[in-house]
Structure 1
Amino acid sequence: MSASLHLLIPVFFTAPQGGLHENVRATVQFMLSRKHLVTVVCRPGPFAEQLRGSGVGVIETDYQVDSLAAAFTAIQELHEQQPLDLVHVHPFVSRQLGVMVSRILGLPCVATMHGKYSDVLPSQIDYLDAVFTVSEGIRHYLLTEGGVQHPEKLHVVPNTPDAKLFKAVYVASLPETTGKVVVSLVTRLDQDKAFILDVFYQAVAHAAEHYPGRIHWQVVGQGTLQETFSERVEALRGENTVSHAGWLQGEALRDAYCQSDAVIAPGRCALEAMSCGVPAIALGSKGYNGLVDSATWQQAVFSNFGGVGDKHESYQQGAVEKDLDRLMRSRADRRGLGHFGRQVVRQCFNESEMNRRLLNFYRLVIAAYKADPRPRVSAEAFLELRLEGLEISRPRPDLLVLEHRCKQPEKLRFAWYLFRDGEVIEKFMYRPEPKREIPLPGPGAYQVRCYVQDEHKRRISFVGAEAVVEPDIAEVPDQR
């Protein structure tokens, strides 16, 4: 039997739940099932608690720049007690932390790219042993537009639904949906999903005009735009009905799919619905693939079901209305589309096959790194790891006091920019003092951006504090 591995997964997210979380969860569950160890570095909250409940090690961090040193120390202590074998990073600040860990501790590092963005991949590809994209379309983007110079390092490992969970099961219809076609929107309701929501509004308006009283819209998801979204749908729905299920997981999510006659969803959600035999209109944050059928399935697979595109620029007006019309033709047509979608999932997104592929990549990367390791670097090479926190106080309503806690402060220089209502109103240029008193001149919304420079002229910056001065009442500043 192969030796057990210890995998470190740093992942950063803003929303408490989403497709990124499910991607990580799937990797974790598979590794645990094979008796490997996994430690996830993430923000505190429901996801962290769910992972702990599954037997996963969790290191919590808010991923603020001045919190990375504490996270690294926790990882280093873990490595001394239970040696890590591999770092699997996800984009942005979690990638930043993971690459630092791999370079300092001398560990191989792989990355997953989930969408049409390059992060800083072109400048860090030399520090990565492999890069996994969730679709061929994202790989193509990174090579043709993303500036990545090592195509040999890019491999496609798609999202895969849990076929044991997401399958067709009988679920009783809700009384309010009797005699209606249930169409579910499954997505987060946040600004980064604005394109999805805009196209959905068009579908709701079209249905109100052409299928009054015949459709029930089921919304599965929540987010920062929930109130605005609900008001807009209510204004557009006409005689059709709508229900809001909130964010669902596990069997509750499967049952919501199975109660639906069709879904409108991006990425992993579209795959899960199709695995349940439910036809899907693939609508992602970057593009519209439309109803997954014999003519569109290959493009949907290529783009991760809407993960590649130019949003409104590439959207053909009337597309969602046309697809909705087709769904409304007959139950037999919907049944045929659902059967076809399930075939696509079985052929292209076999969970066991892809998980084994990922584990085999892990083993290859570890073996290759042991044979030819990269030179290790010291923690002092990373300015971020010299910052240990920012103390913020407000002794009076019109004064902020900020002070960096850091290693070797005598070798660092500090600058501060004060913004009011989005405009820079004062600059405190680089000086060796880690502490700064900043007056707040009059009413307004203030933000302080901190700049730190080391002896090698390397610089980082981040928002250190925010505060509001009311004409008569001052609010306590948010702590970064």
Structure 2
Amino acid sequence: MKKKAEDRSKRRPVKKRAYTQKPIVQYVVNANPPKQVVWFNKDESNYSMQPRYSESDLRILMVLDQFNIGGTETHVLTCVRELLRNGVHVVVAGKRGEMCDAFAALGCPVYEINFVTNEHIINEADEQKIISQLKQIINTEGITAVHIHQLPSGTFAAKAADQLCIPRLWTLHMLLPYTIDEFELIKSSAAVVCVSPSIMKQLPVKDMSVQLIPNGIDTVQFNYRSLIQSDLRDELGIPKGAPVIMYAGRLSWEKADICRDIIEACRQLRAESYPDLNLLVTGEGRHSEGIKSLVDVIHKETKGNFIHLLGNTLNMSSYYSICDVFLGTGRAALEALACCRPVVAVGVKGFVGLVNPGNYRSAWETWFGDHHADEAWSVEKLKTDINRVLDMPVQEKMETGWVNRNLIKEQFNFTRTTDMLMNVYANILKNRYASYEVE
């Protein structure tokens, strides 16, 4: 008996079968959605089924038209970085562009899909191919929610998600003249997010459930850095102590018009009061060549090169740090405020003026003039507010910068806005785990 007991003790332990978290049956790429989904206990608590999910269950596909340098793309880049830090699996899809490598550097899967042509027109010729590519990505990456930010990529992504019964949400960065079909796609999303109160107020359907989540700013990345002042000024050929004005925006349509008026305002100020004034312009667009031609004419007339066309750049924080006044709108205005810069808000819809505690609310509600404004901009208004900042005492300018930065840290910090977004994702996932029956 003793020997048998010893033999049993020497037996190799039985290995427990390891179960993976992968589903036994995955979606078929060309699967069709069920005709009808009947939900049970939608209004009542179902205590027999407790929700079982965590951050690791959140697998998000972010969709962009193209990886261009702009406010929407920078917003998505910041979101993706913070979501990855929180353990969320994020996949990004879009047409190749200048920010493609920045997304790839985050370590998340990046898929290049030609949603638009080189002329930035919807790629209707390849619609079925694009939808098939998206469905393969959703299936391969185990996506649990599709996050749409733009059109026309959003149209393709919505169709792919619907065919695989994957919930989708839509962030509205601006209120475009949507077609009826496009707005129906937005309205039928599992969640709709707006980046400013003015977009919410202008939505054609008032009873639509909408979440308000502002752009989040990384206040470590965007901060005033005095140490780079002299080197960057030397690189640009700007004398020490010379006032520097900065404008950032896509050089297309109304924002190109704003740029032209800022150039004219700076030309007049240089002739009247500030002979060593310099202007930095960042951004590109369909009217870039026209702006360049205008600058060449002004430089020839004034016999001085004081306007610096910097094109698209990811190193915005450095340029914010050397400017005395920033003019712009939207996310760029938030970034400049985070860098302690005085900001004159001017956007597509009109003029807000010098941002200060007295108009913080109206600046936020109008998205710094980009989504709404009570008055139009003009060269004279731009000149007046630029002059007002340049004439500020040094101490007042410093205090204005501190107050501006505190606003961003308290109201637009990217960790706070990412938490809000993760709550939206969690609610979508919670609803997806509800009990249903397919007929």
On whether the aligned pair clears a TM of 0.5, the verdict is yes
Corresponding residue of 1:185? 247
Query: 1:213, 1:240 within 8 Å by CA — same for their partners in 2?
Result: no
Alignment of 1:60-459 (within 5 A): 60-63=112-115, 64-117=123-176, 119-120=178-179, 122-142=183-203, 147-151=204-208, 153-170=209-226, 171-173=228-230, 174-175=233-234, 176-191=238-253, 193-236=255-298, 238=302, 241-249=306-314, 252-309=315-372, 314-315=376-377, 318-330=380-392, 331-371=394-434
In 2, Cα distance between equivalents of 1:91 and 1:70: 19
Structure-2 change in CA distance of 1:206 and 1:124 (3 Å): same
- What amino acid does structure 2 have at the position aligned with 1:154? V
Query: 1:262, 1:334 within 8 Å by CA — same for their partners in 2?
Result: no
Deviation at 1:192, TM superposition (A): 5.2
TM-score (norm. length: structure 1): 0.70
Q: From the two aligned structures, give the one with the greater helix fraction.
A: 2
Q: From the two aligned structures, give the one with the greater strand fraction.
A: 1
Structure-2 change in CA distance of 1:93 and 1:274 (3 Å): same
In 1, Cα distance between equivalents of 2:397 and 2:305: 20
User: Which is worse superposed, 217-226 or 255-264?
Assistant: 217-226
- Residues 412-448 of structure 1 deviation map (CA, whole Å, 9 limit, x = unaligned): xxxxxxxxxxxxxxxxxxxxxxxxxxxxxxxxxxxxx
In 1, Cα distance between equivalents of 2:144 and 2:114: 24
Is 1:20 the counterpart of 2:54? The answer is no
Corresponding residue of 2:15? none
In 2, Cα distance between equivalents of 1:266 and 1:35: 32
Query: 1:87, 1:102 within 8 Å by CA — same for their partners in 2?
Result: yes
- What amino acid does structure 1 have at the position aligned with 2:346? L
Partner-residue secondary structure (3-state), 2:99:
helix
Query: 1:10, 1:97 within 8 Å by CA — same for their partners in 2?
Result: no
Which protein is bigger by CA-based radius of gyration? 2
Structure-2 change in CA distance of 1:192 and 1:40 (3 Å): farther
Query: 1:132, 1:157 within 8 Å by CA — same for their partners in 2?
Result: yes
Structure-2 change in CA distance of 1:188 and 1:372 (3 Å): farther
TM-score (norm. length: structure 2): 0.77
In 1, Cα distance between equivalents of 2:113 and 2:359: 41
Structure-2 change in CA distance of 1:158 and 1:199 (3 Å): farther
Corresponding residue of 1:408? none
- Residues 288-346 of structure 1 deviation map (CA, whole Å, 9 limit, x = unaligned): 222111332211111122221379x7336632122112112133343232222212212
1:11 to 43, 53, 64: 64
In 1, Cα distance between equivalents of 2:177 and 2:361: 23
In 2, Cα distance between equivalents of 1:198 and 1:284: 13
User: Which is worse superposed, 358-367 or 293-302?
Assistant: 293-302
Partner-residue secondary structure (3-state), 1:208:
helix
Corresponding residue of 1:385? none
Partner-residue secondary structure (3-state), 2:281:
strand
Deviation at 1:103, TM superposition (A): 1.2
Equivalent pairs, count: 367
Q: Which gives a bigger RCO, structure 1 or 2 (Cα 8 Å, sep 6+)?
A: 2
- Residues 135-154 of structure 1 deviation map (CA, whole Å, 9 limit, x = unaligned): 11111111xxxx12433x21
In 2, Cα distance between equivalents of 1:20 and 1:78: 22
Partner-residue secondary structure (3-state), 1:245:
strand
Query: 2:262, 2:379 within 8 Å by CA — same for their partners in 1?
Result: no
In 2, Cα distance between equivalents of 1:37 and 1:314: 44
Deviation at 1:65, TM superposition (A): 1.2
- What amino acid does structure 1 have at the position aligned with 2:59? H
Deviation at 1:162, TM superposition (A): 1.2
Structure-2 change in CA distance of 1:245 and 1:316 (3 Å): closer
Give the share of equivalent positions with the same residue, in percent. 22
In 1, Cα distance between equivalents of 2:270 and 2:390: 13
In 2, Cα distance between equivalents of 1:32 and 1:240: 44
